[in-house]
A and B are shown apart, each in its own frame.
Chain A
Amino acid sequence: MHKFIFKRLILLVPVLLGVSLLVFAIMSFTPGDPAQLILGENAPAPAVEALREEMGLNDPFIMRYANFVGNAVTGDMGRSYTTGREVATEIFDRFPNTLILAALGTIIAIVIGVPVGILSATRQYSWIDSSSMIMALLGVSMPNFWLGLMLILVFSVTLGWLPSGGFMGWSSLILPALTLGTGSAAIITRMTRSSMLEVIRQDYIRTARAKGVAENVVINKHALKNALIPVITVVGLQFGYLLGGAVLTETVYSWPGVGRMMVDAIRQKDSPTVLATVVFLATTFSLVNLSVDILYGFVDPRIKSQYA
């Protein structure tokens, strides 16, 4: 098992190198001279050229990339072109905001998705099943930035119950977390239902039923445990997505998270910040996926044995 984790961690290195190379190349193609951006439109040409030289922008691409990697390894992701602040510091300042939102969103998704999914499966073809499946489909189909705006329209603008954005006290967590949670809840509902259905049709469940075990015991004790294994994967993947991909929701709610930091940086052509945020979010995403795989190994002994 340790070997497996180690191997996966090692594999992460080329992946992250690839990601950073990709984004670094993309940002290098971006039109606009960073030196000019830093100094502003009134800066004289010699000053801009001097800064270009100082920043190493005149070096060959490979050298600049190597420098970036070298610094990044020591935790130095450079300074933002617009704020002059250390990018790494700012990411760590903001990451808790992203994390809490993703965690709450995932909790909401589980709290809604798992029970509804089980309910649907145990009452397949009932009105509960069809209505929750329709709700789930709607949830999957709704653009989350639109859902966010609609929630703002109802709960902030019309009813005035909740703040519409920014971070001011716990009440500002509700709408963004709901927005994030809805899509994942829908996915988890569908996953739980199909996984449950698959398990219910297995022989051992039939046997249990035939032996006269009470239905709720069959479901809760026998079926649930096995049915939830694939659900865990989905939950983990969703958590990863919410951490790495909450860009739009953070934008809708002016949420001071890493995703919006990235979008703002893109608008301001602040490449060190863009680069660092993308690499950071990709790392987080990959680490969450890795943890899911490991967790999966623990809950499903069949898989665990493969790692031995």
Chain B
Amino acid sequence: MSNEMTLDKAQTSETEVSAVRAAPKKRSQWAEVWHRLKRDKMALCGLAILTVVVFAAVFADFIADYETVVIAQNLGDRLQGPSAQYWLGTDEFGRDIFARMIHGSRVSLLVGVLSVSISIVLGGSLGAVAGYYGGKLDNVIMRVMDVFLAVPSILLAIAIVSALGANLINLMFAISISSIPSYARVVRASVLSIRDQEFIEAARAIGASDFRIILRHIIPNSLAPVIVQGALGVAGAILATAGLSFIGLGIQPPEPEWGAMLAGGRQYLRHAWHVTTFPGLAIMITILALNLLGDGLRDALDPRLKH
């Protein structure tokens, strides 16, 4: 059940301490990981889906114009079913659901990636500092993290957004805050496992500063578990965004967001099932892709865990 990864031996070959370390690699670690990932069909499938979603987000404006299609109301065509003109039908304002879903991917990916990055940076640094220095500092940091962990993350995010007001920035902030502790824990655990290893001591011996040791040695060596956690974290953040928007605390209209879209269709469930169904499918497929990729990355980064 250990979460520690076995990758702490690479990464630093170009630095002065690499000579101290055992078993230098022939192939770079990341090439190795990619090589393993390539053989995992499920992970590749996830990667492919994700590429499509990213592509849709990047080129959304070429697929459907924001002003004239995505937010423009067309009240004559309300709640139309899927057709040649509207591939996935229209919503309660006669807007093209397909176009809105394409544009909605921007919000989801943006919030997903940015909020996870924020929590990785903040949580990671806290975890690294706690793990590296230990003692009182460790105790204080981790007790504060416990406070955050004591509240189910969705509750915490809801409370924060409701206090600060519902908009994109606050949403990202709330979601990242609530997942900081898990990154802090992961990084701390892996720091603890390598803190006392020889190559760190060697670095210390040749007079490297704490900051440099953390930055150059500790952090790169705890990247693997963070990456796995991050891939799953993006999935979690997208789900949280959708959930908050669903209860009206997320992205505000007319901006398209998957959770808000399906919430809007809720009262038309019996007359226009497509309004709720398709945005939900978009969420599910994106999360599925991230989960597939996350699983694949975990296996690729730590072959020992692969069954």
User: Nearest-CB distance from A297 to chain B (Å)?
Assistant: 15
User: Nearest-CB distance from A278 to chain B (Å)?
Assistant: 6
User: Nearest-CB distance from B40 to chain A (Å)?
Assistant: 13
Known: A30-B162, A197-B307, A248-B246. A241 touches B152 (CB 8 A): yes
- Complex CA distance for A114 and B162, rounded to whole angstroms: 38
Majority-rule SS of A interface residues: helix
Known: A263-B247, A274-B162. A281 touches B155 (CB 8 A): yes
Q: Are A141 and B163 in contact (CB under 8 A)?
A: no
- Complex CA distance for A117 and B259, rounded to whole angstroms: 31
Residues of A within 8 A of B158 (CB): 247, 262-263, 266
Known: A150-B280, A152-B269. A145 touches B246 (CB 8 A): yes
Nearest A residue to B244 by beta-carbon distance?
A248
- Complex CA distance for A16 and B149, rounded to whole angstroms: 11
Is B121 an interface residue, CB under 8 A from the partner?
Answer: no
Residues of B within 8 A of A137 (CB): 288, 291-292
Is A9 an interface residue, CB under 8 A from the partner?
Answer: no
Is A153 an interface residue, CB under 8 A from the partner?
Answer: yes
Q: Are A141 and B284 in contact (CB under 8 A)?
A: yes
Residues of B within 8 A of A15 (CB): 143, 146-147, 150
Known: A124-B307, A143-B280, A149-B276. A23 touches B159 (CB 8 A): yes
User: Of B111-119, B204-212, B220-228, B235-243, which binds chain A?
Assistant: B235-243
Q: Are B283 and A143 in contact (CB under 8 A)?
A: yes
Q: Are A230 and B1 in contact (CB under 8 A)?
A: yes
Residues of chain B at interface, number, CB under 8 A: 44
User: Nearest-CB distance from B166 to chain A (Å)?
Assistant: 11
Cβ proximity bits A160-177 to B, threshold 8 Å, 1 near / 0 not: 000000000000000000
Q: Are A26 and B159 in contact (CB under 8 A)?
A: yes
Residues of B within 8 A of A198 (CB): 307
8 Å CB contacts to A: which residues of B137-173?
143-144, 146-148, 150-155, 158-160, 162-165
Q: Are A27 and B247 in contact (CB under 8 A)?
A: no
Is B136 an interface residue, CB under 8 A from the partner?
Answer: no
